[in-house]
Structure 1
Amino acid sequence: MFNAVLVANRGEIAVRVISTLNRLGIPSIAAYSEADRDARHVELADDAVCIGPAPAAESYLDVTAILDAAKQSGADAIHPGYGFLAENAEFGRAVAEAGIAFVGPRPETITAMGSKINARRIMAEAGIATVPGLLEPLDSAEAALAAAVDVGYPVAVKASGAGGGKGFRVARTPDELPAAFEGARGEGERFFGDGTVYLERYLTDPRHVEVQILGDTHGNIVHLYDRDCTIQRRHQKLVEEAPAPTLGCDFREHVCARAVEAARAVGYVGAGTVEGLVAGAGSAEPEFFFLEMNTRIQVEHGITELITGVDIVEQQLRAAAGEPLSVRQRDVRIEGHAIEVRINAENAAKNFLPTGGTITRYEEPTGPGIRVDSGVREGTRIPPFYDSLLAKVLAHGATREEATARLIEALDEFVLEGPKATLLPFQRALLATRAWADGSSAREITSDPAAFMRALTEGDTVRGTPA
């Protein structure tokens, strides 16, 4: 397949990719910054190359440094993980021009899906329903006010090239729209270099449902069914589960078929995710609307692996090597239910404020159906330069209830000491609420985490006690 693969990332995803490379017998090379010299992914890789100083702009986002590291180490492929340069079309193009395989989709696919406006337009032309809204950008707050009359309030104001919860504002009235427009445009320019803004209808309390897609250069495209990622904070995911608990069998097949059509519309190669919103989930007539396509492996890919038995990283490598996928649609079955929680170095009681520190004690939980994807160990110092994700705890069971029980037990067993705060107690408490048991969005919890944590200590019988 490959002689060696450079993993151009850090943390848990770098460890995850190295794990599959080791299983396949492919030498792994860790790219690392000076801040990550003693990181877990560096320790586990067969070789490692320093790519620059601690700031991401001078290391994990430095295309030249990463290409030099690949050439120096003899790697003939680069796996970008997620974040950093994973969805950077110019990086993918530079890798290909250097004669190295990029473990991801074609650069033109990344470009097409990187603009939310362009992605909406492509899907609309392919006959795939999108959230009602505009297919053209807006150049001013005045234009947004005029467009909102037709779209209807509340409206979501989005920067076309943004993601991760940034460049997103909600306006519920015309008075709120100018500030929302400027806020979304400003974040788009500041974080993504693109201040293009558009409007779409803001759906009230939808389910955030996504479908895992795999494609290869031989024209094969398969789906690995769906995930529900509705529980979020600041439009960033906190808890994910597979399959989505509110989709009936027939509607699930409909949603997955639309996702395959979306992937075919752009000739998708590699692992990707079609994200959408489901309105009326659980009703007689639910609707699925295309939201965006993530052209990379997702943080939450592990729960899909647990219910299907498919190693998504392996399929990425096969596709990048020009090999056909080793999985066919007729072979994909859902086995049980899986849930994942993210353990970030954040303080939920202070509105998820990032924290730091050094991990002084670390013991991962074990047991039936439990999986931990982690980028840390005892002694790891949490650098302030990167995302706060430390680990993901996943649980698989025959039913959602069994998976939940196993996950709660695992979180009780997880020992993670040293950082000023982590999301471990928050996630443990959330899984024990009626909101989780009922399958709600838990918006009342994530929108006011401080109140939720106070309710726990005060014995609130609605939100704080077990279901």
Structure 2
Amino acid sequence: MSRFDTVLIANRGEIAARIIRGCRAQGYKTVAVYSDADAHALHVREADTAVRIGAGPVGESYLSIEKLLEAAKASGAGAIHPGYGFLSERHDFAQAVQDAGLVFIGPDPAAIKAMGNKSASKELMIAAKVPCVPGYQGDGQEDDFLAAEAVKVGLPVMVKAASGGGGRGMRLVHEAAELKAAIQSARSEATNAFGDGQLLIEKAVLNARHVEIQVFGDRHGTVVYLGERDCSVQRRNQKVIEEAPSPAVSDELRARMGEAAVAAAKAVNYVGAGTVEFMLAADGAFYFLEMNTRLQVEHPVTEMIYGVDLVSWQLMVANGDPLPLTQAEIDVRRHGHAIEVRLCAEDPAAGFLPQTGRVLRWHTPTGDGLRADHCVIEDGVISPFYDSLQGKLMAWGETRLQAIQKLIAMLGDTALLGVASNRDFLIELLSQPEFQGPGVTTSFIAEQYPAERIQAALAPDDAHQALAAALLVETDAQALRAANDLDDSLLGWHSANTSALTIKLARGEHTAVLEVECLGDREYRTDIITTADEQDMAARGVRLLSIDGSRVSYIAEGRRLQAHFARHGSQLWLATPVCTACYEDVTYAAEQGAEAGSDGRILAPIDGKVMSVSVVSGQVVAKGELLLVLEAMKMEFRLQAPVAGTVELVNVGEGAQVGLRQLMVQITPAAE
């Protein structure tokens, strides 16, 4: 083995920053790579050296093997760490790194290739006597053939991309009539995400848990496992909450699953960090899903309960050293419980639509048993080119309930303002008795959280709106004082009796009318004239005690509380411990027009890239007909006609980059 002292991280975001910290702790120098969109990113700031590798799109930067190797050569790096995602599970990348005389911090190319294709790896696991889900994983890939095989397996089934991960290229199908469309959609998404449209079919194991085993191998023949992680809380097959240990796994089951995972790793002579994923059925049976030949997003919860640093282990193994602990030594180190949530720039109330924009305020607390791995910078920009994941927030406790409570409190004091996030939804999930009890299955979100429940659970109450109105009035008054060099004592002064100020606050499609009266000494009385709950029309009193930058301390309903806020023009973002919302002061704005889309205009819902266009000018379309497919933040958005009519204009073509609210298609609505 060639020993090295400088590591290039072929990745971005929170995982690049985390690996940089891990390398620094072990005395290694680090090299970051960045695209034009990431020129001011956190991982660029934290590395010893940074090298530009291209434009924002991943194909021109983070997926360019040639540019990454050139960066390693230019910076003097002796090893490359791939992180997760991007090229981390591409065997040709690992081979190219080794061919260039560099150390690849991960498994050998042969192991990546063997496990990188779910169909081929499943055949290997069957041969190694690792339990597998029944299904079809052969070479026949015609749509009709796969649909027929799915019927043979027995519905419901999972249509899955043979390559890649992260829930992309996966579709759950309950009805035979849905198979063809699901196969085509999964293949398209897999091809765009991984460059490989091969699919497999698996019997859907419903109401199961997703439990994975962390394995580690060295070049001295040792393979160990570090317990399990429960990743059952998922949305669209993407993990939302992860924890260790699993509340459903006994010591005996842990040993059996661990031994099966080690057998899977040994079947391909595995070296380095890897994860073997299983579905755990209600009867205790478990089935191999796939092996991820890299460090997982959720690796920190394993680190927290075993007291280890898995990046440090990766560096040791890559340098040819043996693993630092035996299996017996690992087993006795397990202590307490750790839970992780994925903080994403997405709007749960709008179907989890990914969000882009400038971060106005970022804060997350620190403390005993708390950890935040993130890539957020205040005043930084979240771009459309990459995943919506912005960071992972974690808490450790002596018990599972203690870990949950600490994480809820941590999220309550976390603020990501300027773009919508899933923070409040995470608090909602963690607070549910079903989750806090024995835990939940992979169907939890899909079954328990239809769109209507999400919208209702995340909507701000009257007290939240009253605080927002008080802050708008107060910050406007402070801006007036600063602009005119007025004395603080003049704030809120009136020459006659006080009178209420009428304010209109818009939040998405909802508008509230409030009458706000300043009683002096930063004390406000607010009457909400229009409210979501017409039965609750009581006046709300708020006294602002202090405003320190973007944090406000206040008294409401006899309680002293704190919140985070940010002003941006007529907007006010406000995050209390349970609710985040963006309000627009539309007091003097013109009335809103007709419902979006009713005029036949199709506007881009997010910055992204046009993957395909299905209509041409002059074409007659029905309401709901597919117009085009947009890709952003590694997700596909299928945009349909909001009205029936004739296509008047197609303003974009395949491959075009579009901006938020850019006109893409114009339809002339049909006469009623």
C-alpha spacing 1:50/1:457, structure 2 compared with 1 (3 Å): closer
TM-score normalised by L of structure 1: 0.94
Choose the corresponding residue for 1:306, options 304, 307, 312: 304
Could you list the per-position Cα deviations for residues 245-299 of structure 1 after superposition, in whole angstroms to 9, with x for gaps in the alignment? 111221111111111111111111110100010011xxxx410100000011111
**2:165 equivalent in structure 1:** 163
Instruction: Provide closer, same or farther for how the CA distance between residues 234 and 217 of structure 1 changes in structure 2, counting only shifts above 3 A.
Output: same
Q: How does 1:154-233 map to 2 (within 5 A)?
A: 154-233=156-235
Instruction: Indicate the residue corresponding to 2:426 in structure 1.
Output: 427
Aligned residue runs from structure 1 range 4-15, under 5 A: 4-15=6-17
- Please state if 1:369 is matched with 2:369: yes
For 2:387 and 2:459, locate their aligned partners in 1 and report how far apart those are by CA, in whole Å: 29
Residue number in structure 1 paired with 2:338: 338
Corresponding residue for residue 293 of structure 2: 295
* Counterparts of 1:20 and 1:121, CA distance in 2: 36
1:58 aligned to 2:57? Answer: no
Q: Which has the larger radius of gyration?
A: 2
Aligned counterpart, 1:453: 455
Q: Secondary structure at the match of 1:75?
A: coil
Offset at residue 447 of structure 1 (A): 5.4
Alpha-carbon distance between aligned partners in 2 of 1:111 and 1:38, rounded to the nearest angstrom: 34
Aligned match of 1:413 = 413
**2:364–2:411 Cα contact (<8 Å) kept:** no
Mapping of residues 97-116 of structure 1, within 5 Å: 97-116=99-118
Alpha-carbon distance in 2 for matches of 1:79, 1:49: 15
**Aligned counterpart in structure 2 of residue 327 of structure 1, from 322, 325, 328:** 325
Counterpart AA for 1:158: K
TM-score, length basis structure 2? 0.66
Assess, with a 3 A threshold, how the Cα gap between structure 1 residues 107 and 450 changes in structure 2: closer, same or farther.
farther
Which string of whole-angstrom CA distances, capped at 9 and with x for unpartnered residues, describes residues 67-90 of structure 1? 111011100001111111111111
Q: CA offsets per residue over residues 24-78 of structure 1, 9 Å max, x none? A: 1111111111211111111111111111111111111111111111011100001
Between the two proteins, what is the percent identity of the paired residues?
Answer: 46
With 144-153 and 323-332 compared, the bigger mean Cα shift is at 144-153
Contact map agreement 2:425 2:458 (CA 8 A) in 1: no
**Partners in 1 of 2:417 and 2:149 — Cα distance?**
51
- Summarize the Cα distance change of 1:139–1:381 in structure 2 as closer, same or farther, 3 Å threshold: closer
1:101–1:172 distance in 2 versus 1, CA, 3 Å: same
Aligned amino acid, residue 338 of structure 1: A
1:328 is displaced (CA, Å) by 1.6
Please list, as runs of the form range in 1=range in 2, the aligned pairs for 1:89-104 lying within 5 A after superposition. 89-104=91-106
Where is the helix percentage greater, Structure 1 or Structure 2? 1
Which residue of the partner structure matches residue 130 of structure 1? 132
Deviations 1:344-382 (A, max 9, x none): 111011111111122222222122210011112222211
Unaligned runs of 5+ in 1: 460-464
Q: Partner residue of 1:86?
A: 88
SS at match of 2:135: coil
Contact kept, 8 Å, 1:29 with 1:75, in 2: the verdict is: yes
In the other structure, the counterpart of 2:662 is: none
Q: How far apart are the structure 2 equivalents of 1:415 and 1:340?
A: 17
**How far apart are the structure 2 equivalents of 1:139 and 1:8?**
33
Q: Equivalent residue of 1:229, what SS?
A: strand
How far off is 1:144 after superposition?
Answer: 3.0
The residue aligned with 2:79 is 77
Amino acid at match of 1:388: S
1:383 maps to which residue? 383
CA contact (8 A) 2:89 2:164 kept: no
Judge which range, 373-382 or 184-193, deviates more: 184-193
Cα distance in 2 between the residues matched to 1:254 and 1:196: 32
Query: In structure 1, the residue corresponding to 2:302 is in which secondary structure?
Result: helix
Aligned to 1:286: 284
Note the C-alpha offset of 1:455.
3.6
Q: Give, as a single letter, the amino acid of the residue that structure 2 aligns with 1:238.
A: V
Task: State the SS of the aligned residue for 2:136.
Answer: coil
Aligned-pair CA distance for 1:225: 0.5
Deviation at 1:451, TM superposition (A): 2.4
Deviation of residue 198 (structure 1)? 2.1
Paired with 1:88 and 1:65, the residues of 2 have a C-alpha distance of 16
2:267 pairs with 265, 277, 292, which one? 265
Mapped to 1, the partners of 2:197 and 2:16 lie a distance apart of 31
Distance 2:293 2:213 in 1: 12
Choose 5-14 or 371-380, whichever is displaced more: 371-380
Secondary structure of 1:259 counterpart:
helix
- Contact map agreement 1:228 1:242 (CA 8 A) in 2: yes
The answer to whether the 8 A contact 1:241-1:338 is kept is: yes
Residues 171, 177 of structure 1: 8 Å contact kept: yes
| Counterparts in 2 of 1:268 and 1:447: CA distance versus 1, 3 Å | farther
Tell me what 1:462 maps to: none
Of 121-130 and 157-166, deviating more is: 157-166
Taking the aligned partners of 2:102 and 2:423, their CA distance within structure 1 comes to 40
**Aligned residue in 1 for 2:614:** none
- CA distance 1:384–1:339, shift in 2 (3 Å): same
Structure 1 ranges of 4+ moved more than 3 A: 444-447, 455-459
Contact 1:137/1:197 (<8 A) preserved: no
Alpha carbons of 1:8 and 1:449: their partners in 2 closer, same or farther (altered >3 Å)?
farther
Aligned to 2:313: 315
In the alignment, the residues of structure 2 paired with residue 178 and residue 119 of structure 1 have an alpha-carbon distance, to the nearest angstrom, of 25
Q: 1:180 to 1:444 in 2, by over 3 A?
A: closer
Gapped runs of 5+ residues in structure 2? 462-577, 579-672
| Distance (whole Å) between structure 2 residues aligned to residue 409 and residue 174 of structure 1 | 45
Change (3 A) 1:148 1:359: closer
RMSD (Å), alpha carbons: 1.7
Distance in structure 2 (CA, Å) of the matches to 1:195 and 1:8: 24
Cα 1:377/1:148, change in 2 over 3 Å: closer
Evaluate the alpha carbon distance shift between residue 181 and residue 356 of structure 1 in structure 2; reply closer, same or farther with a 3 A threshold. Answer: closer
SS at match of 1:306: helix
| Alpha-carbon contact 1:211-1:275 (below 8 Å) kept | yes
